[in-house]
């Protein structure tokens, strides 16, 4: 018999008994687990897809590594089997600082077991975890009122907690709640019925509830077929298939399909599941599709029914869970992975932060670690998607720091921005190449970065004079001058400085498109922001010039008296004093201006050009 898999999480406040509950379940299921594990690993008939085998293999390997190395992780996953079902359980931490871990586990769970200590009742973390579970799409919750033995199995206490929770949960959209009185320590109502002290309870045990859930939650409300491509399978010249897991609907051999974002159409020639040819496939199956036509398809593209292709957009409004100690700021750019589709995304605005305790929308300029907000995102290309409420596979994404490659955020798409579908890129006959040819030069962006007083503007000014004398067409963008006009509305907070550089980078891009050699002289202290600026330009167009001078030398040159004011506390967020400067790692040119004159520095750049 092929067993389906139910993924669930245990959640709730600290010390409400989550780990004890899982320990009891594993203890009661241990014999079945040991009897069936080897058979499940070795017998492919017990698994419907290769993806299921991979799930189990990863879990078994992880458990073994944990036992051997004594690893403690923030979300501990466990695997067990009964004669009805296979289960994957995530034991999520109760501490507030691990909110991001609970959200990550909930994003892949079908149902949740929410524990409440019968003595304490609902806690702040009980409500917080419920909101996160709802946000992640969980609709079915078992309210396990634990430690009932410590309140003498009081039916009144159980009913009071149940009524309070139902009132709260139904208000936030959790509509399937089963309350069960338990003692995780003693095993009452976990796998077998409770003690004689709870004769008033006639409902299911926790295990019976888990086994009786009709089916794992449907991760898609879409009716038509859609499948994100996970990889292109081409073992030989005669076979080219597109592998993935069906996100929604059903498909059969001969069906017409459309590929997003290219819009190309074809029909299904073959469907392969495991090592077998299949006449059809449906939601949740891992399959390889072979088309009748040669179409350019890459990882992250979506194959869908021809009459109902998935939407495409490059701008979204989304819930964002922030997972990094460096806060999220509008204007910052990250790598985004949306169902295997890679792109570059920028947080264009933070609409509000969600108070996870009350559900209120709060004004905020940034997101700190573990906070959840509603943001708008702009991508560098259109990608196929569906709102998370309609399809969790097509509507979820992660953000990756482009420098450290760390996962910094996870999100759920609410909807595309209307302006994204109404605004289209226009192509004109006069191109950047034609404009540059008319000026007899190669357009470039020379980005001068360094501490205040390092000599950036002085060197840029002398270089521009030299270039103009040679007949070149240039423009100099200086930090102080820009703040008198384009950026006069910005202050010097980290968020404002990020936006300052974003605007200037976009202006510099337009000037390079006009065929100019543009010189940008800005402190631009953050690596991420300079990386964003670089990403706007073609290969070889952006040259980072690090004007390197020690802080002591810059303070000696303090013609504006800024360092002195910063030392006295009269200027806040001053780079080098109370705000960090992140020096370039691999600039195209590094100028040690404590050792060379401005004219020598300008000549060094001129020689490179």
Which has the minimum average pLDDT: 94-103, 271-280, 330-339, 491-500? 94-103
524 annotated active-site? yes
Give the pLDDT of residue 51. 39
Cα–Cα distance, 386 to 450 (Å, whole number): 43
Span 127-155, mean pLDDT? 90
| Token representation of residue 253 | 């051999």
Give the pLDDT of residue 196. 55
Which has the minimum average pLDDT: 223-232, 423-432, 564-573? 423-432
| Token representation of residue 34 | 């040991």
* pLDDT > 90 fraction of the chain, expressed in percent and rounded: 38
Cα–Cα distance, 524 to 448 (Å, whole number): 9
Cα–Cα distance, 333 to 346 (Å, whole number): 4
For residue 274, being part of any structural domain is answered with yes
For residue 358, being part of any structural domain is answered with yes
Give the pLDDT of residue 318. 93
Peptide bond into 278 cis (omega under 30): no
For residue 220, being part of any structural domain is answered with no
Q: In which region does residue 207 sit, left (phi positive, over 0), alpha (psi from -120 to 50) or beta (all else)? A: alpha
67 and 17 both lie in a single domain: yes
| Token representation of residue 158 | 């159980």
Q: In which region does residue 455 sit, left (phi positive, over 0), alpha (psi from -120 to 50) or beta (all else)? A: left
453 and 390 both lie in a single domain: no
371 and 512 both lie in a single domain: no
Measuring CA to CA, which residue among 491, 490, 518, 494 is closest to residue 506?
Answer: 518
Cα–Cα distance, 446 to 459 (Å, whole number): 11
Cα–Cα distance, 478 to 480 (Å, whole number): 6
Residue 72 has pLDDT above 80, yes or no: no
Helix (H, G, I), strand (E, B) or coil at 15: coil
Cα–Cα distance, 544 to 79 (Å, whole number): 51
165, 185, 212: which is the final residue of a domain?
Answer: 212
290 and 372 both lie in a single domain: no
CB-neighbour burial class of residue 26 (10 A; exposed 0-12, middle 13-18, buried 19+): middle
Alpha helix (H) residue ranges in 173-234: 206-212
- CATH number, residue 368: 2.40.30.10
Identify whether the C-beta of residue 537 lies closer than 8 Å to the C-beta of residue 517. no
195 and 278 both lie in a single domain: no
305, 331, 348: which is the final residue of a domain?
Answer: 305
Which has the minimum average pLDDT: 82-91, 240-249, 475-484? 82-91
Cα–Cα distance, 20 to 186 (Å, whole number): 10
For residue 54, being part of any structural domain is answered with yes
Which has the minimum average pLDDT: 1-10, 212-221, 228-237? 212-221
- Measured CA to CA in angstroms, residue 569 lies from 133, 199, 562, 573 at distances of 45, 70, 11, 10
User: What is the number of domains present in the chain?
Assistant: 4
* pLDDT > 70 fraction of the chain, expressed in percent and rounded: 87
Identify whether the C-beta of residue 305 lies closer than 8 Å to the C-beta of residue 251. yes
For residue 121, being part of any structural domain is answered with yes
Identify whether the C-beta of residue 329 lies closer than 8 Å to the C-beta of residue 347. yes
407 and 478 both lie in a single domain: no
422, 447, 480: which is the final residue of a domain?
Answer: 422
Alpha-carbon dihedral of residues 519, 520, 523, 524, nearest 10 degrees? Answer: -130
Could you write out the DSSP letters of every residue in 489-525? T--SSHHHHHHHHHHHHHHHHHHHHTT-EEEEE----
For residue 600, being part of any structural domain is answered with yes
Please give the mean pLDDT across all residues of the chain. 84
Cα–Cα distance, 202 to 120 (Å, whole number): 24
For residue 427, being part of any structural domain is answered with no
Helix (H, G, I), strand (E, B) or coil at 425: coil
For residue 271, being part of any structural domain is answered with yes
Residue environment code for 202-234, b if the CB has 16+ CB neighbours within 10 A, otherwise e = eebbbbebbeebeebbebbebebbbbbbbeeee
207 and 295 both lie in a single domain: no
59 and 206 both lie in a single domain: yes
Measuring CA to CA, which residue among 132, 242, 219, 140 is closest to residue 396?
Answer: 219
Cβ neighbors of 560 (< 8 A, separation 6 or more) are: 452
Sheet holding 5-12, edge to edge: 76-81, 86-91, 5-12, 111-117, 140-146, 176-181
164 and 268 both lie in a single domain: no
Half-sphere exposure of residue 570, counting CA atoms within 13 Å on the CB side? 6
- Measured CA to CA in angstroms, residue 193 lies from 51, 131, 135, 143, 290 at distances of 35, 30, 33, 16, 52
Give the pLDDT of residue 47. 34
394 and 448 both lie in a single domain: no
Catalytic residue among 437, 524, 579, 597: 524
Give the pLDDT of residue 44. 35
Cα–Cα distance, 552 to 560 (Å, whole number): 15
Cβ neighbors of 455 (< 8 A, separation 6 or more) are: 547, 549, 591, 593, 598, 601
Please give the residue range of the domain that contains residue 284: 226-305
Give the pLDDT of residue 58. 34
415 and 497 both lie in a single domain: no
Cα–Cα distance, 83 to 32 (Å, whole number): 8
**pLDDT tens-digit map of 95-123:** 666 667 777 788 778 899 999 999 999 98
Residue 41 has pLDDT above 50, yes or no: no
**pLDDT tens-digit map of 187-204:** 899 888 766 566 899 899
Write out the H or E segment, with its range, that includes residue 164: helix 155-172
- CATH number, residue 134: 3.40.50.300
278 and 236 both lie in a single domain: yes
């Amino acid at each position: 018999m092929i067993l389906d898999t139910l993924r669930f999480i245990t959640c709730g406040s600290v010390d409400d008994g989550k780990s004890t509950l899982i320990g009891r379940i594993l203890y009661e299921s241990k014999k079945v687990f040991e009897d069936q594990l080897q058979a499940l690993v070795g017998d492919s008939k017990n698994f419907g897809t290769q993806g299921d085998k991979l799930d189990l293999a990863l879990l078994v390997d992880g458990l073994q590594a944990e036992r051997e190395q004594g690893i403690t992780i923030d979300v501990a996953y466990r695997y067990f089997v009964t004669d009805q079902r296979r289960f994957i359980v995530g034991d999520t931490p109760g501490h507030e600082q691990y909110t991001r871990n609970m959200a990550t586990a909930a994003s892949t769970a079908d149902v949740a077991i929410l524990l409440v200590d019968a003595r304490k009742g609902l806690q702040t973390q009980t409500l917080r975890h419920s909101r996160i579970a709802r946000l992640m799409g969980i609709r079915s919750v078992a309210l396990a009122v634990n430690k009932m033995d410590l309140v003498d199995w009081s039916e009144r206490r159980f009913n009071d907690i149940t009524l309070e929770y139902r009132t709260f949960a139904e208000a936030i959209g959790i509509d399937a709640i089963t309350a069960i009185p338990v003692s995780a320590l003693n095993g009452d109502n976990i796998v077998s019925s409770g003690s004689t002290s709870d004769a008033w309870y006639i409902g299911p045990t926790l295990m019976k509830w888990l086994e009786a859930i009709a089916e794992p939650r449907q991760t898609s409300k879409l009716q038509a077929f859609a499948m994100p491509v996970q990889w292109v399978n081409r073992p030989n010249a005669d076979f080219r298939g597109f592998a993935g897991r069906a996100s929604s609907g059903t498909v059969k051999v001969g069906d017409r399909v459309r590929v997003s974002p290219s819009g190309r159409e074809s029909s299904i020639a073959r469907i392969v599941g495991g090592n077998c040819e299949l006449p059809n496939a449906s939601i949740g199956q891992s399959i390889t599709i072979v088309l009748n036509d040669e179409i350019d398809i890459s990882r992250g593209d979506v194959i869908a029914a021809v009459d109902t292709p998935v939407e495409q957009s490059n701008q979204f409004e989304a819930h964002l869970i922030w997972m990094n100690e460096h806060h999220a700021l509008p204007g910052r750019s990250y790598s985004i992975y949306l169902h295997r589709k890679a792109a570059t995304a920028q947080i264009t605005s933070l609409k509000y932060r969600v108070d996870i305790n009350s559900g209120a929308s709060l004004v905020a300029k940034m997101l700190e670690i573990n906070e959840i907000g509603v943001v708008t995102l702009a991508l560098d290309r259109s990608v196929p998607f569906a709102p998370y409420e309609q399809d969790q596979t097509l509507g979820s994404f992660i953000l990756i720091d482009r420098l450290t490659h760390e996962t910094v955020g996870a999100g759920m798409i609410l909807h595309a921005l209307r302006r994204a579908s109404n605004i289209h890129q226009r192509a004109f006959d006069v191109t950047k190449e034609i404009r540059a040819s008319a000026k007899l030069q190669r357009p470039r962006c020379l980005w001068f970065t360094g501490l205040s007083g390092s000599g950036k503007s002085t060197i840029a000014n002398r270089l521009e004079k030299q270039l103009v004398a040679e007949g070149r067409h240039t423009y100099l963008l200086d930090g102080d001058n820009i703040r008198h006009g384009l950026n006069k509305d910005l202050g010097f907070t980290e968020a404002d400085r990020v936006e300052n550089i974003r605007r200037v980078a976009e202006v510099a891009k337009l000037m390079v498109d006009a065929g100019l050699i543009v010189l940008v002289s800005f402190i631009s202290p953050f690596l991420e922001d300079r990386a964003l600026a670089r990403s706007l330009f073609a290969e070889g167009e952006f040259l980072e010039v690090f004007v390197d001078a020690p802080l002591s030398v810059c303070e000696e040159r303090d013609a504006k008296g800024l360092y002195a004011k910063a030392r006295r506390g009269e200027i806040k967020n001053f780079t080098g004093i109370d705000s960090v400067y992140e020096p370039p790692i691999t600039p195209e040119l590094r100028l040690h201006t404590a050792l060379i004159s401005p004219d020598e520095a300008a000549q060094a750049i001129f020689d490179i050009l």
